[in-house]
């Protein structure tokens, strides 16, 4: 089977790369082994953790040359940030962002966190314009969202935050079994009139507040339930991510996959790429576990397999390696140097990833492969938690690589 482009990994970076390529009519295949980290993410994407009033351009100057953003370059990143907004829009995913600087979302602990793009139902505050009186509405018995945590965090930021707990009879059956009372199951039960009654219960608690916050447990498949919920509330309102699984993250994954397939892309899920054949400095084909001897041939191969969490990288006490082709990996020291025993300290292993040149082409035995690229969390050099560049690296590296492939094909 022959494709223009094969993408290994169907998380945020693989899907966006595939969509961008398929939008120009290229024949693309995505092979994805398992759940991506989108299923655990907040639904808000971080570009860089810079303070209010600091522009991205200023913040980018402090990054080392090995960071993926430094390889892409500030000017390119500016264009790609605009491109990303359009791509999400066309996939039916309304995201809010400011192309130049961060806005602030509220975490499940009530802490304000800087973000680049967030789903339109999430908070989009500047630190200066926080509402004065907020009602945080929890759901009775739902342990993955603690309204009191959110309220106490907000109180520290000077907000007058009040808490209530509400419910509707559609949730009673689920509540009997604590392991069933999880965000994705709540989202399945909260539909139609159940939403209207939940909104009524919250409205009854909110006469004296300016704003309402509630857990993100609406709309697994699309944003209709979210719109219904927010439109039935008497006050402006927003959703806050819960503990995993993340309903907004699952929805993002589903809608991006749907867009890729609608553009004619082929998505093979539950299969694992196990090898790739290299000839003359190029990858000719890949093989997967389930398809046995079938060779998938392509002009370009993009590795979007994520980091340790998704098996894009693996570690033994002796080495860190990329499991499909043993691509060159950037890491240093021996086992004891890879992590810090203080869990709150910067963890060196988070910056490990496959080695790339400035165009994000990968290398094997020190030689760059002409038609093979890496995108997303698999890339080295990003220290995602310290610099707060998690989803941004995935989105922008994916569009950067897709752009180069499209340009070369013109």
Ligand X SMILES: Cc1cc2nc3c(=O)[nH]c(=O)nc-3n(C[C@H](O)[C@H](O)[C@H](O)COP(=O)(O)OP(=O)(O)OC[C@H]3O[C@@H](n4cnc5c(N)ncnc54)[C@H](O)[C@@H]3O)c2cc1C
Contact positions with ligand X (CB under 6 A) in 215-274? 272-273
Q: Which of 11, 114, 131, 219 binds ligand X (CB under 6 A)?
A: 11
Count of residues of this chain found to bind ligand X when the rule CB under 6 A is applied:
35
Binding of ligand X by 363 (CB under 6 A): no
In this structure, how many other beta carbons lie within 10 angstroms of the beta carbon of residue 289? 13
Residues, the chain, total? Answer: 410
Name the one range near ligand X by CB under 6 A: 8-16, 207-215, 350-358, 366-374: 8-16
Minimum Å distance from CB 375 to ligand X? 7
| Given 305, 351, 356, 380, the residue binding ligand X (CB under 6 A) | 305
Question: Nearest distance from residue 5's CB to ligand X, in Å?
Answer: 15
Cβ neighbours of residue 217 under 8 Å, at least 6 residues apart?
A: 139, 142, 145, 183, 186, 187, 190, 242, 247
Residue whose CB is less far from ligand X, 39 or 404: 39
Q: In whole angstroms, what is the distance from residue 258 CA to residue 407 CA?
A: 25
Smaller CB distance to ligand X: residue 323 or 348? 323
Options 5, 6, 7, 8; binder of ligand X; rule CB under 6 A = 8
Q: How far is the CB of 343 from ligand X (least distance, A)?
A: 15
String of contacts with ligand X for each residue 46-75, x by CB under 6 A: x-----------------------------
Residue ranges in 376-395 that form contacts with ligand X under rule CB under 6 A: 376-377, 390-391, 394
Cβ 58 to ligand X, closest distance in Å? 20
Closer to ligand X by CB, 45 or 283: give it.
45
CA distances from 193 to 24, 138, 170, 220 (A): 42, 19, 10, 17
C-beta of residue 303 within 8 angstroms of C-beta of residue 324: yes
Tell me which residues in 308-327 interact with ligand X (CB under 6 A).
309-312, 324
Q: What is the smallest separation between the CB atom of 358 and ligand X, expressed in angstroms? A: 19
CB of 41 vs ligand X, minimal distance in Å: 3
Candidate list 18, 23, 36, 150; residue touching ligand X; CB under 6 A: 36
Stretch that binds ligand X, among 35-43, 82-90, 203-211, 228-236 (CB under 6 A): 35-43
Q: Decide whether 38 or 250 has the Cβ nearer to ligand X.
A: 38
Question: Is 42 an interacting residue with respect to ligand X (CB under 6 A)?
Answer: yes
d(CA 406, CA 148): 50
Q: Which residue, 198 or 298, has its beta carbon nearer to ligand X?
A: 298
**Closest separation in Å from C-beta 404 to ligand X:** 18
Least distance CB 286 / ligand X (angstroms):
9
Of 212 and 324, the one with the shorter C-beta distance to ligand X is 324
What are the residues binding ligand X (CB under 6 A)?
A: 8-14, 31-34, 36-38, 40-42, 44-46, 272-273, 304-306, 309-312, 324, 376-377, 390-391, 394
């Amino acid at each position: 089977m022959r494709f223009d482009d094969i993408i290994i990994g169907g998380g945020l970076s693989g899907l966006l790369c595939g969509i961008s390529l398929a939008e120009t009519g290229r024949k693309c295949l995505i092979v994805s082994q398992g759940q991506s980290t989108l299923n655990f993410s907040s639904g808000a994407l971080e570009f860089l953790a810079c303070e209010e009033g600091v522009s991205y351009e200023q913040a980018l100057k402090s990054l080392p040359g090995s960071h993926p953003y430094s390889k892409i370059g500030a000017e390119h990143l500016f264009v790609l940030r605009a491109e990303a907004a359009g791509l999400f829009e066309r996939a039916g995913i309304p995201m809010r962002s400011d192309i130049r600087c961060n806005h602030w979302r509220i975490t499940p602990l009530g802490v304000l966190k800087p973000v680049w793009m967030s789903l339109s139902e999430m908070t989009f505050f500047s630190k200066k314009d926080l509402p004065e009186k907020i009602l945080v509405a929890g759901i009775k018995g739902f342990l993955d969202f603690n309204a009191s945590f959110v309220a106490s965090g907000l109180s520290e930021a000077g907000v007058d935050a009040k808490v209530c707990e509400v419910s509707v009879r559609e949730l009673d059956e689920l509540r009997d079994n604590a392991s069933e009372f999880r965000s994705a199951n709540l989202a399945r039960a909260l539909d139609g009139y159940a939403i209207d009654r939940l909104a009524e219960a919250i409205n009854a608690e909110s006469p004296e507040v300016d704003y309402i916050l509630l857990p993100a447990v609406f709309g697994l498949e699309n944003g209709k339930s979210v719109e219904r919920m927010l439109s039935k509330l008497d006050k402006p309102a927003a959703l806050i991510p819960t503990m995993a699984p993340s309903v907004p993250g699952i929805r993002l994954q589903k809608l991006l996959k749907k867009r890729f397939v609608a553009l004619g892309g082929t998505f093979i899920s539950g299969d694992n790429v196990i090898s790739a054949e290299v000839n003359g400095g190029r990858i000719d084909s890949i093989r997967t576990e389930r398809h046995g001897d079938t060779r998938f041939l392509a002009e370009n191969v993009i590795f979007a397999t994520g980091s340790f969490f998704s098996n894009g990288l693996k570690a033994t006490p002796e080495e860190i390696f990329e499991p499909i082709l043993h691509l060159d990996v950037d890491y240093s020291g021996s086992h004891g140097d890879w992590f810090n025993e203080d869990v709150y300290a910067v963890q060196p292993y988070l910056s490990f990833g496959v080695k790339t040149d400035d165009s994000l082409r990968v290398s094997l035995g020190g030689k760059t492969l002409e038609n093979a690229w890496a995108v997303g969390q698999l890339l080295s050099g990003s220290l995602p938690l310290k610099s707060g560049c998690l989803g941004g690296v995935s989105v922008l590296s994916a569009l950067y690589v897709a752009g180069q492939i499209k340009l070369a094909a013109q």
